[in-house]
Structure 1
Amino acid sequence: MKLLVRNLSRATTEQQLRVLFSAHGAVTTCNLVLDQVTGQSKGFAFIEMPNSEQAKAAISSLNQCQLDKNKIRVKLSK
């Protein structure tokens, strides 16, 4: 399942996201979206988890949680 993570701090790294989501199951890919000009985070990322039950558990657990002083939003990507 592909998840969309929004409202990320500009300081949040892909490694932090991978560790955070790995606590709920296997993470296939972690793609933090960067601005092509500045190279800084645009504040959102895509996470892929192969197991749908683990992905749903991650959504339930991590949606509205604090990460780097921001309350992140996690949902299924369409």
Structure 2
Amino acid sequence: MKLLVRNLERKTTEQEIRILFSAHGTVTDCHLVLDQETGLSKGFAFVEMPNEAEAKTAVENLNLFNVAKSKIRVKFAQS
């Protein structure tokens, strides 16, 4: 299941996101979207979790969760 993570602090790293979601289950992929010109975060990422139950738990527990002074938003990504 692919999850969309929005409203990330620009300094949040891909590794930090992976660790955050790994607490709720297996993460097979984590992709922090970067601006091609500056190399800085655009403030959102995609996280892939193969187990549907774990992905649902992550969404329930992490949506509106505070990360680095920013309240993140987590939902299922649209295909």
For the aligned pair, the TM-score class normalised by the smaller chain equals: over 0.9
| Matched-pair identity in % | 65
Match of 1:72 in 2: 72
Equivalent residues in 2 for 1:46-61 (5 A)?
46-61=46-61
Match of 2:18 in 1: 18
Secondary structure of 1:31's match? strand
Equivalent residues in 2 for 1:17-36 (5 A)?
17-36=17-36
In structure 2, runs of 5+ residues without a counterpart are none
Q: Kindly report the root-mean-square deviation, in angstroms, between the aligned alpha carbons of the 2 structures.
A: 0.2
Q: Deviation at 1:64?
A: 0.1
Q: Structure 1 residue runs of 4+, over 6 Å off?
A: none
Secondary structure of 2:44's match? strand
Secondary structure of 2:56's match? helix
Provide the aligned length of Structure 1 versus Structure 2: 78
